[in-house]
Structure 1
Amino acid sequence: MKGYSIKEFPERSARARIREIDISLKDAVNVAHFLKGMDLDSAKNVLDNVIEKKVPVPYFRYMDSVSHRKGIGPGRYPVKAARAFKKLLEDVSANAEFKGLSDSLEIVHIAVSKGRMIKKYTPKAYGRAGAFFKDLVNLEVVVRESGEE
């Protein structure tokens, strides 16, 4: 379907996406990598724990100057990105319920991509303004019923 990075969707699947959300691309990439392959309920529980800063997200990319956490290595608590992914998982859960899928769902595809850039300005000395760009992020997820290949 147009707009998704996956070409063919599995049988008995549901999908959802959020476009142009204002979160960190680097945090979103690491959260998506952490969630891929989990079942939907455990992914929601993990995100709740990340939001409460009980469980860190292990970083596999963009980890320059990232502190190590006990038991996982380099990691952080990306609360804003975790909230966005939790909203995305709630959306895909509602879509699956509407399609009549069972409650045991697993994440088979999760992706993060760059959205558009917004040009912004910051004031400088002597009445000038300096330009900077804000990147927006697109999120997408596809789930299917567990046990289906």
Structure 2
Amino acid sequence: MVKEKINKTEKIAKVNAPQINVSKKYAIAICKFIKNKNPEKMIEKLKLVQEKKKAVPMHAEVPHKHNMPKGQVAGRYPVKASGIFIKLLKSLIANASNLGLNEKELIINIAMANKAPSQFRGTRMAYGRKKFKRCHVYLEAKQMKEKKIIGEKIK
């Protein structure tokens, strides 16, 4: 097994949110939505998601994709999940400013959502869902200039 050398001088802002009350499906979709973008711009876009003016793209899990208006991708409006992600992004920006990083040049390079152990409520199913959906979210941002690529993808 090869161990990677970690550069200790590189400053990285991190946010780890274990067992948040969000569905894994929505958390993965929002992580794909915000990855490789500026956190401040993503806060504005997630506020539009809360107002149901912009949809989070969800390609595989959304039925009835052919009914979408022209110019919009198939998606949904995860209102509660986007509110939680706004809090996480604000915390990420605060961590970056504590490290002395420029907030305007920040880019989220890692956005991960993993399934957390589901918790059971000790009551009957008639009073609501017995299992709670939970997931772990990890965000990491570095200071770098945003790359604008037109037409081609970097491999």
| TM class, shorter-length | 0.7 to 0.9
Of 58-67 and 41-50, more deviation after overlay is shown by 58-67
State the Cα distance separating 1:147 from its structure 2 match.
Answer: 2.8
Contact 1:55 1:77 in 2 (8 A): yes
Paired residue secondary structure (1:37) = coil
Q: CA deviation digits over 1:91-129, x for unaligned, max 9?
A: 1111001111112201100000111211234256xxxx9
- Cα 1:12–1:67 change in 2 (3 A) is farther
**TM-score using structure 2 length:** 0.77
Q: Partners in 1 of 2:7 and 2:116 — Cα distance?
A: 23
**TM-score using structure 1 length:** 0.80
- Cα 1:81–1:72 change in 2 (3 A) is same
Q: Partners in 2 of 1:31 and 1:146 — Cα distance?
A: 22
- Cα 1:61–1:28 change in 2 (3 A) is farther
- Name the count of aligned residue pairs: 137
Q: Partners in 1 of 2:61 and 2:125 — Cα distance?
A: 30
- Cα 1:27–1:8 change in 2 (3 A) is farther
Matches within 5 A, 1:21-32: 21-32=20-31
2:119 alignment counterpart: 118
Contact 1:56 1:69 in 2 (8 A): no
Paired residue secondary structure (1:85) = helix
2:144 alignment counterpart: 146
Aligned amino acid, residue 56 of structure 1: A
State the Cα distance separating 1:8 from its structure 2 match.
Answer: 5.9
Gaps of 5+ in 1: 1-6
Q: Partners in 1 of 2:78 and 2:17 — Cα distance?
A: 18
Q: Partners in 2 of 1:68 and 1:78 — Cα distance?
A: 19
Richer in strand (by share): 1
2:108 alignment counterpart: 107
- Following superposition, which runs of at least 4 residues in structure 1 exceed 3 angstroms of deviation? 7-10, 64-69
Gaps of 5+ in 2: 147-155
Percent identity of equivalent pairs: 27
- Cα 1:35–1:44 change in 2 (3 A) is same
The alignment's C-alpha RMSD in Å is 2.6
